[in-house]
Amino acid sequence: MIEVIRPWGPKAGAWCFDRQAGEWTRFIPRIDFSDSMKIPPSRPSLAGEKGQLLLPFGDSRRDWQRRKSEKYASFFAQVPEEARHMAARFQTRFGEQWQILQFINRAGRPAFELVRDCPALGFAVARNFCYRPNTHPARTARRLVGMKRRQTCAWLGFPVKEQSVKILGKIPPECVSMMGLKFFRDALQHEEIADILSHCRRVHVGVMRLASPRLFCHFLPRLILEVASSRREQTIAHSAYMLISLLDLADEHRRNRMIFRDRDQLDAAYQEIWAVGEYSEMIDLDSVIIPPPPLLGTPGIEPLHSLDLLIEEGRVQHNCLGSAWQIRQVAKGHVYYYRGVPPACPERCTFVIERESGKWVLTEIKGICNRPVGVATRAFVTGWLKYMQFPATEEDEAMIEKEKSGYFKEVPF
């Protein structure tokens, strides 16, 4: 697949060529513009003026690094520095930085000021077709930038109040996402939720996740104010996931729901319920037998081969792995769970494999709090899965040894 990316200018955009379809299509690249501040310095070349190496067996890797640095520098240099720095404040998981950059590129200085003063509202305007379908998103974005911000909120479906603009202005750019803002828009329709959020100093991921109609009636305002002042919950909603787990357990066993006054009480209740012995008794798993793992573990990948490990993984990673249904699926042999552990694995993760057509396939892989994992982590797990089921032949092993010995190293002339 061939990709062409123009980051700035009247013809800016990103296209990829599909060889099978034989056509160019637009796509959203996941470019991290913060890398423009981390370009490695170019090293002096070992070649002379005419390009010939000064040493007969000189290392060409320095020249390759220099050329790579120059290409990165020339790519990022096309973008104005202030626009590049503004886009770098956002996430990169779903191309948020690219979308903000193209919004500023097309709508000009008013768009830059909107993103600077209210990142969440600026992002919503950039992705306006996600909040209200229309046929000309770029033209609509330029029109919305010229409106008063309260009118812009109304067009996007947020409550028509100055309060909405102030609350959106408290959301840091690194906490902005398309789906997060959609759920948050629904939460702001409730006046009691909006009133409490008006008193929060910052509205980060932990606060946005708690501002849910389902969760809001199960804690006092003091709890959400404590979460708002916590840096630990800026990108991962620990308190919200603890509360969801407790509510799910109460629903399953028809227990009375508690109203938590602060984070300490919530954490104490969570630790008490998720004690391995007590939890297994509550969901009646004493008779469950976990089968041995179908594929052995390796450095960085460990099978969750016991009830204690499965429940502990659900507690630590804040996911649904500790639920009775998931554990019974493992006991029946339908699926099997593993965990990726650094440093061998690029990041901490939990993944599940399922048997299909006589082989095990990867069906889901998530980080803490069900967050998406990086490309390197997914490649590491899929490589392990392929190697464990289809071991390398003697020819493959010989080829690997040759690569390690430098047999295929390119020798410059």
Q: What integer pLDDT is reported at residue 393 of this predicted model? A: 57
pLDDT tens per residue across span 51-93: 554 444 444 555 666 777 777 788 888 999 999 999 999 988 7
Instruction: Encode pLDDT of 201-219 as tens digits.
Output: 899 999 999 998 889 989 9
Question: Residue 400: its pLDDT value, please?
Answer: 53
CB 131 within 8 A of CB 182: yes
Residue 265 structure tokens: 């009480």
Alpha helices, H only, 254-359: 263-273, 276-282, 307-317, 324-331
142's tokens = 């330029």
pLDDT for residue 325 is more than 80: no
Residues 214, 183: Cα–Cα separation, whole Å: 12
Q: What is the pLDDT of residue 103?
A: 95
Amino acid identity of residue 404, one-letter, is K
CA dist., res. 97 & res. 79, Å (int)? 13
Instruction: Note the pLDDT tens digit of each residue in 237-293.
Output: 888 888 887 887 777 666 666 889 999 999 888 777 665 445 555 555 666 788 999
Comparing CA positions, the residue from 259, 205, 248 lying closest to residue 227 is 205
Q: Is the peptide bond before 372 cis (omega within 30 degrees of 0)?
A: no
pLDDT over 70 (residue 138): yes
Is 398's pLDDT higher than 70? no
CA 87 to CA 80: how far, in whole Å?
Answer: 11
131 pLDDT above the threshold of 50: yes
**pLDDT, greater one: 391 or 410:** 391
Residue in the structure block whose two tokens are 């984070």: 263
Mean predicted confidence (pLDDT) in 312-321:
82
pLDDT attached to residue 276: 46
SS3 15: strand
pLDDT tens-place string over residues 19-38: 778 888 888 888 888 766 55
Q: Tokens 């082989």: give the residue.
A: 359
Q: pTM of the entire structure? A: 0.71
Answer whether residue 196 shows pLDDT above 70.
yes
Q: Is 372 left (phi over 0), alpha (psi -120 to 50) or beta?
A: beta
| pLDDT mean across residues, the chain | 82
The identity of residue 381, as a single letter, is: V
- Tell me what pLDDT residue 69 has: 74
Confidence of residue 48 (pLDDT cuts 50, 70, 90): low
Q: How many CA atoms lie within 13 A of 29 on its CB side?
A: 17
